[in-house]
Each structure stands twice: as structure tokens, then as C-alpha cells.
Amino acid sequence: GRDEPVAALPGLASRAGPQGTYGGQLGAGFPSTQTGNTPATKRHRGAMPSDLKPATSTTASTLGNPIGNIVGAATTAAAAAGGKEDPNEVQGPEKFSGTNMMGNVSSDQGVGRTTNSDNDYVVYQGMNSNGTLLNMNVKLQNSFVHDSVVCCVRYSYSGQYLATGSNKCAQIFDAATGAKIATFARDEVADQQYSDSQQDNYFRAVCFSPDGKWLITGSEDRLVRVWDVRTRTVKHELTGHETDIYSVDASSDNKFIASGSGDKKAKLWDLKTGQLLHTLGGGDRAPTDGVTSVTVSPTSLHVAAGSLDKIVRVWEVETGRLVRSFEGHRDSVYSVAFSPDCRMLLSGSLDKTLKLWDLAASNPSNQCRLSFTGHKDFVLSVAFSPNGRWLISGSKDRTVQFWDPRQPSMCLMLQGHKNSVISIDHSPKGNALATGSGDKHARTWIYTN
């Protein structure tokens, strides 16, 4: 029979937890190939059900794959360690530190803890240098229940709508009211590569075109699709990738699409015609493993990508020429995001860190500007707030963390899911954040600062 939604993941297959192998909910956002790792999507830019339960745990040895290393039930990890864990309890951070080009900067800060009345989520607030709590908080706006792991979340450019990707479909919701607007399923495609209704096909990547007319999806069947949002039909079906699509992004000028795949390729496509524009390479500096994340700069002049080969790359759109290559992560890069002013690039990695890279020509050595540590497990998704004030990250440790780009310190930590936070996206408008998780929920949040 076919492997589970996530088959053996090179670089993770031999990994185990501190005292054993993690097991847990399968699916979303993770490749079923033998040559790629599990990607997470990225972006530059309802009350919680009372019966929400942690994902059902199954041992990785039984499933024959290590997906639990990414999306693992807390109880399984605890059992492997010989202990117990309350899935509703998160230990407060003890230390958040970072490294910059001037040396090590650490902050042993206390934190303030806030639990909402339904005990559905916990917020930890960082401390100012004078010992007072930072004036930040987060509140749940909406919770969207899915039938499978939520691979990806993405706001429309207006911030009015939220798209999600999961098994066999993408969906659009009203971000404010939580109402479902539309479902885009592979069964609506005339040329079906997978006719078996039981066959999994995870939509691992979604994004809107800037004008809101099109929804772009990337899925396990190796296809990038451009859907007409109004009619819910496929305008273009883009073929050329040889394995699962991990990431898609649309240019802000509404002209092209970028895609990344486990086939080690990033490609650019004409949004209007569907024609291939470039396959991004770089000669001996081209990606040597799966491309997990692609993002188009706000100016539409450059495309950046993260790869399983631990390197972050930047290409020039017009020529397809590789112009920058950033090395420093000790493990696969799962997410990349441009700063709103295009001066910085943020990356998140399985090495549990975020890194901030300076894109200025005055940094010819491509040295990391800041490195942020504090997550207790893989960093799967990163984003900037639209004003550049915050760096935000989602992790396998089930938390979302807010960081100050001016200093390597955690400012706020949100525990709002019962499983890995696979995908995050910041709304282009206001202080709204979306999260997608292995607990089969997407959620939207409003934060104040």
C-alpha cells in the first residue's frame, strides 16, 4: 500500500525525540517523497470548540515514517520520555537569546502569563529592560475546523479573506466573521491524476493574486493550479515540477507566480498565460535538495527560497540570475520572508533558530545580521508584520513567538494550538495573524501593542 501522507523524510528519518521517536497526527504540508523534507509555507507580508482534543497519537515505527518529528502528539512525546504531559499546559520560557555580528546577546527575562477564560490558549508577555511587562496581548478572533492537518494559511491582499490548504482541498473563509466562502477541490479538475477518492492529495501551499481574482495552490500531485475565485474553476494547471509542490507566492505587480518543489527547483510562471518564465538555478550554487519555501519581494524584483540544503538563495526575476546566497543555518531552511522595505530577509530552520539577513550591497560577505534562539523545536514558518515592527515565527513546539528585529529577544509567546504550528501569515491590514496547525485547526488572532 501507499505510504501515509508523509513518507520517509531525509534528514528526519533517523531522528528521534530526546528519549525516543515521536508519533502523531499525519499529513499536511509534508512531502511523501524519498528525496525531500517537510516544508512549511511562509509569507512576507467562532469560539474554540470545547471538545478540542490533541491529535491522536500513533507510533512512528508502526507507520514506517517519522512524521511525528514535525507534527507530534504531546502525549506520545511524553511517553517516549517516560513521563506525562498535559497538552493544555505550556512551560514558560526560561531564556531567550540571540547572536549578532557584534557577539552574543542574551536576555534572561521573566514573563507574564495570561490564560483566556476558556483555557484554550495561553499568552506569555516578555519584559522591558526596566523590569515591567511589555504592553502586548493576543486574543483569538476565529477558529476554523478542518478534516485534516492544516498545511498552510494565507490572507488576501485586502486582509478580508483567509485561504487554507489541507487534504484534497483549499478553502476560503471570511477572516472577520469566520464564514466559509468557497471550497476548491481536486475533484473539480477535469483531468484527474488521482481518480481514487481515497487517495490523499495535500494542498501544501496557497496564495491569492493581488487583485483577488485568482487563488493559486500547490499540491502533492506535483501541480500548481490557478483557480478562478468567482467560478471556482481552474484557469491554469501548471506542469513541470517532478515532485510535490511545497510553496507558492504571487508577485505584487500581479504578473507572475513563484513555486518551490521537492525536485530541487524553484520556477517562475506567467500569471496571465500560465507559461514558464524561468527555472531558477545558479550553476554549482543551485539548490541541491528540495526547495521548501519561496517568496517574492514586495517590489516584485527578486525571489528568495529556502532549501533542505540549509541555504537561503535570492534570484533576480528579470534574468533568473542567482544574486545572493546565505549560509549559516545548521539544518534545513523551511521558511523565508522579505521585510516590507526589502532590505532584510528572514529565515526559519529545523535548527530551531530564526536568522535575519542583510540584503544591502554593503554586506558582500552575506553574513547573518541577527540570530534568534528560544524555540524548543523546529521553526516551520516565519513572517514580518507589515510595518516591519515584529518578526513572527511558528514552531513544532506548538508556539507562536513575536520578536523585536532591533534586538534578539522574545517579546510575546502564544500557545494557541495542541500540535505543531505549521504555517503563519500576517494580515496586510491591521494587527491580525493567522495560524495553521497539525491539530486540524486554522485560527485567526488579533494582537495589541
408-430 residue pLDDT tens = 778 999 999 999 999 999 999 99
Percent of the chain beyond pLDDT 90? 63
What CA–CA distance (Å, rounded) separates 217 from 227?
8
Q: What is the pLDDT of residue 292?
A: 98
Residue 269 confidence class, pLDDT cut points 50, 70, 90: very high
Q: What is the pLDDT of residue 9?
A: 30
Q: What is the pLDDT of residue 113?
A: 76
Q: What average pLDDT does this structure show over 169-177?
A: 97
78-90 residue pLDDT tens = 333 333 333 333 3
What CA–CA distance (Å, rounded) separates 109 from 410?
9
Residue 20 has pLDDT above 50, yes or no: no
Contact 111, 94 (CB under 8 A): no
Q: What is the mean pLDDT of the chain?
A: 78
Residue 363 confidence class, pLDDT cut points 50, 70, 90: confident
Q: Which three cell numbers stand for residue 260?
A: 518551490
Residue 49 has pLDDT above 50, yes or no: no
Distances (CA, A) of 282 to 56, 67, 293, 315, 316: 43, 31, 17, 9, 11
Residue 157 confidence class, pLDDT cut points 50, 70, 90: very high
Q: What is the pLDDT of residue 361?
A: 79
Q: What average pLDDT does this structure show over 30-37?
A: 36
CATH topology of domain 105-448: Methylamine Dehydrogenase; Chain H (2.130.10)
Up-side HSE of residue 270: CA atoms within 13 Å toward CB?
6
54-69 residue pLDDT tens = 233 222 222 222 223 4
List b or e across 71-85, with b for residues whose CB sees 16 or more CB atoms inside 10 angstroms: bbbbbbbbbbeeeeb
Q: What is the pLDDT of residue 154?
A: 99
Q: What is the pLDDT of residue 111?
A: 57
Q: What average pLDDT does this structure show over 266-292?
A: 96
Q: Identify the bridge partners of residue 170 per DSSP, sorted by sequence position.
A: 165, 184
Q: Give helix then strand counts, H and E, for the chain.
A: 2, 32
DSSP 48-74: PPTT--PPPP--HHHHTS-GGGTS--H
Distances (CA, A) of 379 to 202, 336, 347, 400: 21, 11, 9, 10
Q: What average pLDDT does this structure show over 3-9?
A: 29
Tell me the chain's radius of gyration from C-alpha atoms.
20
Q: What is the pLDDT of residue 119?
A: 62
Contact 304, 323 (CB under 8 A): no
Contact 325, 333 (CB under 8 A): no
Q: Which of helix, strand or coil describes residue 80?
A: helix
Q: Which of 442, 348, 350, 380 is closest to 149 using CA atoms?
A: 442
Contacts of 67 (CB under 8 A, 6+ apart): 4, 5, 6, 9, 24, 26, 27, 30, 38, 60
Lowest mean pLDDT among 25-29, 152-156, 224-228: 25-29
What CA–CA distance (Å, rounded) separates 134 from 137?
9
Contact 161, 155 (CB under 8 A): yes
Q: What average pLDDT does this structure show over 148-162?
A: 98
371-406 residue pLDDT tens = 999 999 999 999 999 999 999 999 999 999 999 988
Residue 287 has pLDDT above 60, yes or no: yes
Residue 175 has pLDDT above 50, yes or no: yes
Percent of the chain beyond pLDDT 70? 71
Q: What is the pLDDT of residue 151?
A: 98
223-261 residue pLDDT tens = 999 999 999 999 999 999 999 999 999 999 999 999 999
Residue 30 confidence class, pLDDT cut points 50, 70, 90: very low
Q: Which three cell numbers stand for residue 132?
A: 515591567
Largest CA distance in the chain: 63
